[in-house]
């Protein structure tokens, strides 16, 4: 027993570089941290932010247990110290976000966080290093934080808290420990990724990617889409089936908002489409909902669902919102299609040479739009992507 314990201690205190070299994998020890969840507690964090130009940041949100997503916890690493801030506590966050807006951020998978912070707090980042984007540009097989920490440092992260209810209070020590680790190793991970990117000459690529991510964050999440009800394979539906789908989708939204729960917990998309499909063969609501079961909420919801189906059956399909035509969706001409195919073939060859995911250079939709109008490439791609596309033989030789 003493020998085994000694081995565990040796593994734990090995430097991360040594653990990686020796193939040793351990469960990471959470750092010490401070939790701020009471009025007047933020001053130490604000003072720390005033002394630095960079801060590691992560958020925990609740989109699995409520209708409207909300930020539940903010995690900061400042001057080697972890601060956890309860975003649902009665705190004044104005000074915090003012200071953050002037910092260089170190984040992992920032797209969702930046959009959420913008929508809920009007926050826009100044500059950023995203370790997930960096890993993608290095063509890492695993780009999630847990995978990168295991690959680089031999740290095996627990997955138990990934689907936790972050809005439930009080937050357990287990959840807080998990949250602290999301920022604790980011500086060391950034150091490793930066060395590899610099060696490949791709640091400028990352800077462009991060800037694009910040710009995307300012757009927040799409809202008010009158065609959001057109889910899955709804394009195959016609007539009353479309009316039923429109009605039951909006019924689900109303019930989810009333119960403050995610729509998928009321009824999944498969059941919505099943009811819409059933409208092809049935003109009575009872027959359509007869094969549907809503789980534990069924007795309370079936009556309102039946009413919604009746409304859908009575809806004139021509009165439903129509999709807006987009010039980018115009079918390619035979000449444009041939050009797209040549671009794709050359892109794939280049991606293989660079050992890079081909879609990072340009995805299929972008290639189609370039084939349709090469002059628009600057609107679609980043400068480093444009440089690669314009170097392709098919682009150089293209006859407008």
What is the pLDDT, as a whole number, of residue 295?
Answer: 93
Q: What is the mean pLDDT of residues 287-294?
A: 93
Q: What is the mean pLDDT of residues 131-153?
A: 97
What pLDDT band is residue 9 in, cutting at 50, 70 and 90?
A: very low
pLDDT in tens, 264-285: 999 999 999 999 999 999 999 9
What is the pLDDT, as a whole number, of residue 2?
Answer: 37
Written as six digits, the tokens of 238 are: 């016609």
State yes or no: pLDDT of 20 exceeds 80: no
What pLDDT band is residue 194 in, cutting at 50, 70 and 90?
A: very high
Contact predicate 59/110, CB 8 Å: no
Q: How far is CA 14 from each of CA 129, 153, 185, 347, rounded to the nearest angstrom?
A: 27, 10, 15, 43
pTM tops 0.85: yes
State yes or no: pLDDT of 8 exceeds 50: no
- The percent of residues in the chain predicted with pLDDT above 90, rounded, is 83
4: exposed, middle or buried (Cβ count in 10 Å: 0-12, 13-18, 19+) = exposed
Q: What is the mean pLDDT of residues 10-27?
A: 58
Collapsing DSSP to helix, strand or coil, 66 comes out as coil
CA angle, residues 233, 237, 241, in degrees to nearest 5: 120
Whole-angstrom distance, CA of residue 71 vs CA of residue 214: 18
What is the pLDDT, as a whole number, of residue 378?
Answer: 95
Chain centroid, CA 19 distance in Å: 31
Whole-angstrom distance, CA of residue 303 vs CA of residue 136: 49
């Amino acid at each position: 027993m003493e020998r085994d314990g000694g081995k565990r201690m040796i593994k734990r205190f090995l430097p991360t570089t040594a653990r990686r070299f020796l193939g040793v994998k351990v469960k990471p020890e959470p750092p010490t941290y401070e939790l701020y969840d009471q009025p007047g507690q933020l001053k130490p964090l604000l003072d720390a932010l005033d002394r630095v130009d960079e801060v590691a940041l992560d958020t925990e949100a609740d989109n699995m247990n409520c209708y409207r997503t909300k930020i539940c916890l903010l995690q900061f690493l400042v001057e080697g110290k972890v601060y956890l801030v309860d975003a649902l506590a009665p705190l004044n966050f104005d000074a915090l976000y003012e200071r953050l807006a002037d910092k260089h951020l170190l984040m992992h998978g920032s797209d969702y966080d930046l959009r959420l912070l913008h929508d809920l707090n009007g926050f826009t980042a100044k500059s950023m290093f995203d370790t997930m984007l960096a890993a993608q540009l290095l063509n890492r097989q695993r780009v999630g934080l847990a995978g990168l920490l295991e690959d680089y440092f031999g740290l095996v992260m627990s997955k138990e808290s990934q689907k936790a209810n972050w809005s439930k209070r009080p937050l357990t020590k287990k959840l807080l420990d998990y949250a602290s680790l999301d920022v604790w190793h980011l500086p060391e991970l950034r150091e490793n990724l930066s060395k590899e990117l610099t060696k490949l000459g791709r640091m400028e690529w990352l800077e462009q990617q991060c800037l694009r991510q910040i710009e995307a964050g300012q757009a927040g999440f799409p809202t008010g889409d009158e065609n959001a009800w057109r889910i899955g394979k709804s394009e195959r539906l016609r007539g009353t089936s479309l009316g039923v789908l429109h009605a039951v989708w909006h019924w689900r939204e109303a019930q989810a908002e009333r119960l403050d729960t995610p729509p998928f917990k009321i009824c999944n998309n498969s059941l919505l489409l099943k009811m819409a499909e059933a409208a092809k063969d049935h003109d009575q609501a009872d027959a359509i909902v007869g094969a549907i079961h809503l789980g534990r909420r069924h007795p309370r919801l079936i009556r309102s669902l039946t009413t919604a189906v009746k409304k859908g059956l009575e809806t004139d399909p021509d009165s439903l919102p129509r999709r807006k035509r987009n010039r980018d969706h115009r079918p390619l001409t035979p000449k444009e299609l041939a050009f797209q195919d040549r671009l794709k073939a050359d892109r794939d060859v280049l991606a293989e040479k660079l050992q890079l995911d081909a879609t990072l250079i340009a995805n299929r939709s972008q290639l189609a739009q370039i084939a349709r109008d090469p002059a628009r490439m600057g609107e679609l791609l980043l400068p480093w992507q444009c440089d690669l596309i314009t170097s392709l033989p098919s682009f150089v030789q293209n006859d407008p």
